[in-house]
Structure 1
Amino acid sequence: MAKFTLRQLELFAQLPKHQTLSSAAQSLHMSDSALSHAITELETAVGEQLCVRRKARGMYLTPAGTHFASRASEILRATDSLAGELSEVSGELRGPVSLVCYTGLASNVLPAVLEGIARLHPEVEIRITVGDHSDLLPALADGSLDVAVVYDIGLPATLQRSVV
């Protein structure tokens, strides 16, 4: 079993975006020698040459390196997803939420709602839209909006509701 770190995967996954090791190192806020050392350790761990480094002519990935960088990116996305899933299990919400509010309720209700969400779920990014039922209901139905603060009058039975 190959022994390498997520940090090495993060570094290597960035290499295809650069033509030189110096450019990659600068982008990653590290020295050329530290990046080169991390790549060498990674190559030793996997038993393959992943990158050809030439001082005067830049660097390029070997076919194995190109495949490895692609898979490393997939693994990093999966680890981000796993961390997100854990936060969902623990009840911690994060990410963008499209919140809409009926015009007549906005000035009275939104300040308290926004304050409460910010306090309870600081990782949530709220996008607010204010409008009337004719604007809000179709957007809720098609999934382009996540949450609506509206009067419970004439709402389709298919909508999940929470009365506050």
Structure 2
Amino acid sequence: MRINIETAELQAFIAVARQSSFRAAAEGLFITQPALSRRIENLEQALQERLFDRTTRRVSLTPAGELFLVHAQAVMEELELAVKSVEQRMAQRREHVTVACVPSVANNLLPQVLKRYARSHANVRVRIIDESAADVLESVRKGEADFGVNFIGAQEAEIDFAELTRERYLAVMPTHHPLAAHASLNWKSLAGEKLVSVSSSSGNRSLIDNAFSRVPQRPVIQYETNHVAGAISLVAAGLGVALLPELAIRNAPYKGIVARPVTSPVLSRAMGLITLKGRVLKPAAATLAQALRDAISTRSGK
């Protein structure tokens, strides 16, 4: 048998039972007394039981009403709990942020930023796409990431690129390397050195190749890796010198390496926050983006 009872009728019944008054219950529900009476009548018809004894002086529950009140209150409490659970679940599903960034940012900057961010956004789920510069750009372009931190994208028509800092490249070498005795190096001093380099598909590599194109005698790339971490490991093993962005080696967990700035000219890259043009970040993403801006600004001394 289909139960033809509306929640408004249950609310009306519970209100009258608690107030022992149709007038007070109607005022509490912000409806008229005739409307309240119709709800009670509909409920009694559905149950085929009288729920209240009504006199000119008082309203009281019948035995059937007392029995039904226990279950009606339980039903409304369960319904409220169900609604709140769904609201909380949907809120948690809505509160998520995807940030794309190059590995140097993901490894050396993002962890501390997220640690602080989690204190005020404990329920926000964060997905990190830590890939190459080209992949980071593509993630933002496709809408997979809310925003990215990258050193390419400034020339893309559909991308907004907000520069955060300029990151210089350093020559990384074993501590016993002859060039380690110098406070800084020029490009000519690297001529003839065996280099450890990231792969030719890397955005880092294109910047380095462009710089070496202006040097009469360029170093020999002896070892090539896909990731900066691999290059650092080879340098630590004494296999050569690597030109790497400063952020990538700032907190590198390796012993036996040193880094020296390279001048004449200084090689650097613009690190920026990239978003899809015209996209407005949701609050949780905007807060994380600002936290990254502040962290980079602090490290850069701005």
Question: Are residues 1:35 and 2:36 paired?
Answer: yes
Is contact 1:21-1:53 (8 Å) kept?
no
Question: Are residues 1:26 and 2:33 paired?
Answer: no
Structure-2 separation of matches of 1:28 and 1:88: 26
Q: CA RMSD in A?
A: 3.2
More strand by share: 2
> Aligned with 1:39: secondary structure?
helix
Deviation at 1:24, TM superposition (A): 1.3
Give the TM-score, by structure 1 length.
0.53
Written as runs of structure 1 = structure 2, the 5 A alignment for 1:97-136 is: 113=120, 119=283
Is contact 1:20-1:58 (8 Å) kept?
yes
* 1:13-52 alpha-carbon deviations (Å, 9 max, x no partner): 1222212211111121111111111100100011110112
Corresponding position of 2:49 = 48
Corresponding position of 1:16 = 17
More helix by share: 1
Structure-2 separation of matches of 1:28 and 1:42: 17
Structure-1 separation of matches of 2:64 and 2:47: 10
Amino acid at match of 1:23: A
Deviation at 1:91, TM superposition (A): 4.9
C-alpha spacing 1:91/1:48, structure 2 compared with 1 (3 Å): same
Corresponding position of 1:90 = 90
Corresponding position of 1:71 = 71
C-alpha spacing 1:26/1:87, structure 2 compared with 1 (3 Å): closer
* 1:93-116 alpha-carbon deviations (Å, 9 max, x no partner): 8xxxxxxxxxxxxxxx58x826x9
* 1:74-96 alpha-carbon deviations (Å, 9 max, x no partner): 10111112223323443538xxx
Give the TM-score, by structure 2 length.
0.31
Structure-2 separation of matches of 1:92 and 1:4: 32
Corresponding position of 1:129 = none
Amino acid at match of 2:19: H
Structure-2 separation of matches of 1:57 and 1:20: 9
C-alpha spacing 1:15/1:91, structure 2 compared with 1 (3 Å): same
* 1:100-150 alpha-carbon deviations (Å, 9 max, x no partner): xxxxxxxxx58x826x97x45xxxxxxxxxxxxxxxxxxxxxxxxxxxxxx
Written as runs of structure 1 = structure 2, the 5 A alignment for 1:2-13 is: 2-13=3-14
Structure-1 separation of matches of 2:28 and 2:88: 32
Structure-2 separation of matches of 1:22 and 1:91: 38
Amino acid at match of 1:92: Q
Structure-1 separation of matches of 2:92 and 2:38: 38
Structure-1 separation of matches of 2:69 and 2:36: 15
* Greater radius of gyration (CA): 2
Deviation at 1:10, TM superposition (A): 1.3
| Paired residue total | 106
Is contact 1:19-1:58 (8 Å) kept?
yes
Is contact 1:13-1:70 (8 Å) kept?
no
